[in-house]
Structure 1
């Protein structure tokens, strides 16, 4: 666990992969170049958000398939795929394919629940079954069963010249153990009980706690996850916060970054909505300032790795500056050691 004097084990970042509706190819290519650059900087992982009917990556698995052929070392994750819009059997086929193409580097992060704004498009998604779809954690269980090789078909054998398998093909051994799940207290407990990895984010729910301090709540969730994991010493936890180092930023960039954080700060002061969602304040400052804040953060103190979230609305050159400072300034301030680097600007 990263306390002062203990090296941070793994450093990664998370991006939405935004694009212009009139030129989506350029935005997707920019994301691929950022992933390539991240590997050159020595990052351990890069994660893609999932956005449906928005101007961000809607098919992270497809993008990571492309990234797998342009990188050789860095772990490739999703944070997260909402399973309410997926068929677990078909998704298992896609995930296993990309994992094999990447040489075993895929880290699928998933979530469940009724999809956001479901009523707006449910007839297009599930024309005949939208009122009876099961959006519970059963979808996660189906996915990990499929990835783990549990039979999905009653038939195995040869028909004519075609061979059939009982299990999802291709099968990628070890992929099931790299599935991540995120959520509040009950989800943390459930993830631990089912030996999934636990993916935290810059949002928590206030269920089961009297605290209104984001860091304390995140720490409680991580503690609950480990307490219910059969092998807590092997349990992986990744912390995600919006962290914006300014070491090499221009004065104009620093101003925009601070304005961005200030505009989002009011939502961090009180729980939001019926589930009591609480947002973490964005952390903007020099790497030394950020490191000091992280070392005193109850969530960071309990994590084994991090995937810092990039802001949604910045420019490509901003992302280059931010991830460069993350790797070359903040990482060393957290005693993190990068993998072999071969720098080339994206």
Structure 2
């Protein structure tokens, strides 16, 4: 069995061709898609966070709303850019959303990717310490976030408080027990995957990875996952880790699918630069008739290594069509691969 969820970037555009024309559309349709996915038997509803963009941004109101409308499905992010986050305030928001959802949050956090504006985190009031990079700052914020999620007291109480305090140092409230073990790190390199394992975070690996060997994307990603698991074992954590990978997978089962995604061109990895002097490899998408799709996916080593698969969805095509995309995978692909 493999957990299968969807991942939405929550794009919206006022264009007449878009089914998601406003920020309100993106948010409300995200909730509706999570409800529909749960009814179809999906395991997770995950959302990407981008600032200064016509996409989903502040995740916790959305996660709480999804949690209130659903009962079983995991609710997560992939990923929250920690360069922008106050880790203590984030811990309060995360604790509240997790309690509303009954302990179903699976929060993916990371250093983040190139954004819409230059050094956008500076507008949020953050800057790296002297001699440090923005990536260092993101990891520092992540470590503080992980520490306060343990629920241990650290703040000196006021001797004359407005309301009575429990004894000892105070922790952040609300605290949600178990959330600390449901934090994931979105990693683009082998080294950060190993760092995440040492800190006891689960691993998220997307459709993009820094090119470290020149090998095909799925092989590099599988090697990253194996390095993560080895580091986890060496760290001696008491529980087993989880690993997710993201893929664009479309089973062409009707004329609409073929019109949208039946390009007739073979998909392949792409190599390029998302940052100066940092070469990356972008994983191929999978778009084919179900029988062909099954054979193609059998050869993806990283999917085989992961316990969770996140299907990236074209959210601007609307809730009904995206529910169809998810259902087509469950019906025509997952059983043949032993995922269901």
Match of 1:70 in 2: 69
Using structure 1 for the length normalisation, give the TM-score. 0.84
Contact 1:244 1:322 (8 Å CA) reproduced: yes
**Runs of at least 5 residues in structure 2 that lack an aligned partner in the other structure:** 15-20
Match of 1:149 in 2: 151
Using structure 2 for the length normalisation, give the TM-score. 0.86
What is the alpha-carbon distance in structure 1 between the residues aligned to residue 128 and residue 139 of structure 2? 17
Change (3 A) 1:62 1:150: same
- Tell me how large the CA RMSD over aligned residues is: 2.5
Bigger shift: 19-28 or 176-185?
A: 19-28
1:314 to 303, 317, 320: 317
Match of 1:342 in 2: none
What is the alpha-carbon distance in structure 1 between the residues aligned to residue 63 and residue 6 of structure 2? 14
Change (3 A) 1:275 1:9: same
Q: Which has the higher contact order (CA 8 A, sep 6+)?
A: 1
Contact 2:52 2:117 (8 Å CA) reproduced: no
1:272 counterpart SS class: strand
2:72 counterpart SS class: coil
Matched, 1:270 2:267: no
Contact 1:205 1:276 (8 Å CA) reproduced: yes
What is the alpha-carbon distance in structure 1 between the residues aligned to residue 330 and residue 158 of structure 2? 49
What is the alpha-carbon distance in structure 2 between the residues aligned to residue 97 and residue 153 of structure 1? 20
Match of 2:289 in 1: 286
Contact 1:114 1:135 (8 Å CA) reproduced: no
Q: What is the Cα deviation at residue 159 of structure 1?
A: 1.1
Give the count of matched residue pairs: 321
1:18 to 11, 19, 32: 11
Contact 2:218 2:302 (8 Å CA) reproduced: yes
Deviations 1:240-296 (A, max 9, x none): 11111122x32x43132134x969x68x33242422211011110133322222221
Match of 2:245 in 1: 239
Match of 1:9 in 2: 2
Change (3 A) 1:166 1:270: same
Match of 2:206 in 1: 201
Match of 2:18 in 1: none
Q: What is the Cα deviation at residue 118 of structure 1?
A: 5.0
Match of 1:98 in 2: 97
Change (3 A) 1:262 1:135: farther
Contact 2:60 2:94 (8 Å CA) reproduced: yes
Change (3 A) 1:101 1:157: farther
